[in-house]
Amino acid sequence: MATNAELAAQLLRNSAAFFRDVGSQNPKLKDQMENNAETFEVVAGLVEKDPEGEMEIPEDGVPAGPPA
């Protein structure tokens, strides 16, 4: 049986694949879809590596990057 974190990571990776598929079918959206896919993959890795981890999100809503 999969844990909630494993399920969440798989859903995030499936979403990344979806974004890449959309980008491959629409050149105008390709860069944005690739950015979305990369973001979802990073978060999937974070969820797997540290399911209880926290990330500070600044008021502008844009984290400086993945946690160290």
DSSP 11: H
Distances 11 to 55, 61, 68 between C-alpha atoms, Å = 20, 23, 24
Mean pLDDT of 8-22: 98
Domain positions in the chain = 4-48
Looking at the chain, the whole-number percentage of residues with pLDDT higher than 90 is 76
DSSP 32: H
pLDDT (tens digit per residue) in 36-66: 999 999 999 999 999 999 888 888 877 666 6
**pLDDT-based confidence at 67, cuts 50/70/90?**
low
